[in-house]
Amino acid sequence: MVAGRGTDLLRPATSSGRATFLELFFDLAFVAALTRVSQRFADVGDDTGWTLVTGLGRTLLLFLALWLIWSHTIWITSRYEPERPVIQAVVVGTMFAALVLAVTLPHAMEERALPFAVAYLMVMVVRPLVVAAALHGHPRQRVPFRLAAWSAASAPLWLVGALGPDRLRPPLWAAALAVDYLAWALGWPLPRLGSAGVGRWRIAGEHLAERHQQMFLIALGESILVIGAVFGGVDYSAGRIAAFTVAFTTSALLWRIYFHRAGRLLNEALGRTGMPGRLGTASERTHGLLVLSVLVTAVGYHLVIDDPFGPPRPTWLWFVVGGPALFLIARVRLDYEILGRVSWSRMIGLVVLLLVTTGLARWAPMVGLSVVAGVLALVALLDALRGRRRPLEDSVPQIGPESSGDTRAEE
């Protein structure tokens, strides 16, 4: 660690890996935002054809913008001491912007596009400049400057998309997000400075892992809210009571499958890795898929509880089957990242879901939800049987630090 001005902002090795109360408070804004994402997905649930595809694509785009902001925030609190006043101010400011994003999100592709874009850019451009100023010339100051530069480069796409015709907004914002995500993947390279080696970053790995786990639990909590809100707003019937029960069981199974072995060992894997930047980046992408899968699954709950034994709705399978299938794909990826192996129980579950999808298109929605719950129960059972035969293994991260021969200084 480099001594000098700005050093007191860095996380010391003795800093607690637990999330602070402010960070948990910050997550409340994202509860509201994720609720709006679920609502937008549900709004397109009855659409068909190209209308359904465009509706899903627009909502996915907004989710990716939210996820980028949340991910950058947890990296800030994993690299810098979250108890410092300037970092607390950054978190509170980001929370306000996230709340603006949540409020504007239902109509962000329509009349509220400008406040959505401005709130996003305030976080992506202004926040890193505040962090850079607080670092007072420390070598790590280059990273927030890089981020601000790249975000400023994509800003015209966000603003033109917000101010221009509605039909141009999705492609312009998709291009802007592509720039923002690509910049992060490349380490925000700049002329003469090169790129920031994220894989060499020293972060509080256990803190980052806990924040990923907490966001997954927040997404599960959102699914529980959907179940309760929808069931509480309709007339009770035997079919809806059954759908309510199966939906809750499905969320409980998602929790069980996530935390079996790899999900539980995430903290250990990121804590034991000497320089967990690369593993942390991979985990962030995997948890983005996991959170998205739970939100999509929750939309399936909404649709089925509302009309469990109505006519077959093939488009609903995007949510009823697609969400759990995406969850299993992401969970297989997490197993490989943490344990260095492929989970056959999850692969079996994924294959079964894909095989039965066509047949489920001919049955009432309740049948599809029940079959999905049965497949997830099978995965959980296979996990339990394997766990009884084998002790809990140590984490064997497949995405770790760069080779020791890389002697470039960490930024």
Which CATH number characterizes residue 366's domain? 1.20.1410
Within a domain: 401: no
d(CA 370, CA 246): 6
Q: What is the per-residue pLDDT for 179?
A: 96
The answer to whether 286 touches 337, Cβ cutoff 8 Å, is yes
**234 and 160, same structural domain?**
no
Within a domain: 250: yes
d(CA 340, CA 330): 14
Domain enclosing residue 117, as ranges? 9-196
Report pLDDT digits (tens) over 217-272.
Answer: 999 999 999 999 899 888 889 999 999 999 999 999 999 999 887 767 777 777 66
Q: What is the per-residue pLDDT for 396?
A: 59
Q: What is the per-residue pLDDT for 260?
A: 83
Name which of 264, 260, 265, 253 is nearest 293 in CA terms: 253
d(CA 238, CA 246): 12
Q: Does the pLDDT value for residue 155 go beyond 90?
A: yes
Over the chain, what is the mean pLDDT? 86
The answer to whether 24 touches 212, Cβ cutoff 8 Å, is no
Q: Does the pLDDT value for residue 173 go beyond 50?
A: yes
Q: What is the per-residue pLDDT for 207?
A: 81
Task: Give me the mean pLDDT over the 284-291 stretch.
Answer: 93
Q: If pLDDT is split at 50, 70 and 90, which confidence band does 113 have? A: very high
Q: What is the per-residue pLDDT for 386?
A: 79
The answer to whether 240 touches 308, Cβ cutoff 8 Å, is yes
Within a domain: 406: no
**100 and 130, same structural domain?**
yes
**220 and 187, same structural domain?**
no
**188 and 231, same structural domain?**
no
Q: If pLDDT is split at 50, 70 and 90, which confidence band does 384 have? A: confident
Within a domain: 331: yes
Q: What is the per-residue pLDDT for 408?
A: 45
Q: If pLDDT is split at 50, 70 and 90, which confidence band does 399 have? A: low
**214 and 128, same structural domain?**
no
Q: If pLDDT is split at 50, 70 and 90, which confidence band does 401 have? A: very low
23-27, 171-175, 200-204, 367-371 — which is least confidently predicted? 200-204
Task: Give me the mean pLDDT over the 106-111 stretch.
Answer: 90
**237 and 183, same structural domain?**
no
* pTM assigned to the model: 0.90
Task: Give me the mean pLDDT over the 141-170 stretch.
Answer: 93
Within a domain: 180: yes
Our count of domains for the chain comes to 2
Q: What is the per-residue pLDDT for 269?
A: 75
Instruction: Report the SS3 class of residue 408.
Output: coil
d(CA 164, CA 146): 28
Q: What is the per-residue pLDDT for 405?
A: 41
**258 and 135, same structural domain?**
no
**152 and 226, same structural domain?**
no
**335 and 189, same structural domain?**
no
Angle (deg, nearest 10), helices 365-389 and 277-306: 140
**46 and 85, same structural domain?**
yes
Q: Does the pLDDT value for residue 157 go beyond 80?
A: yes
Domain termination site, one of 139, 165, 196: 196
119-123, 320-324, 332-336, 364-368 — which is least confidently predicted? 332-336
Within a domain: 43: yes
Q: If pLDDT is split at 50, 70 and 90, which confidence band does 295 have? A: very high
Q: What is the per-residue pLDDT for 266?
A: 77
15-24, 66-75, 115-124, 369-378 — which is least confidently predicted? 15-24
Q: In degrees, to the nearest 5, what angle opens at C-alpha 270 toward C-alphas 265 and 273?
A: 120
Task: Give me the mean pLDDT over the 294-319 stretch.
Answer: 92
Within a domain: 407: no
CB environment 250-272: b (16+ within 10 A), e (fewer): bbbbbbbbbebbbbebbbbbbbb
**219 and 160, same structural domain?**
no
Within a domain: 60: yes
**39 and 127, same structural domain?**
yes
Q: Does the pLDDT value for residue 403 go beyond 70?
A: no
Phi and psi for 194 in degrees, rounded to 5? 75, -155
H helix and E strand count, the chain: 15, 0
Q: What is the per-residue pLDDT for 397?
A: 59
* Helix residue ranges per DSSP H, 19-126: 21-43, 49-79, 85-104, 113-121
Percentage of the chain lying above the pLDDT 70 cut: 89
d(CA 92, CA 29): 10
Q: What is the per-residue pLDDT for 112?
A: 93
Domain termination site, one of 162, 196, 230: 196
Q: If pLDDT is split at 50, 70 and 90, which confidence band does 199 have? A: low
Report pLDDT digits (tens) over 10-30.
Answer: 777 667 667 888 888 888 888
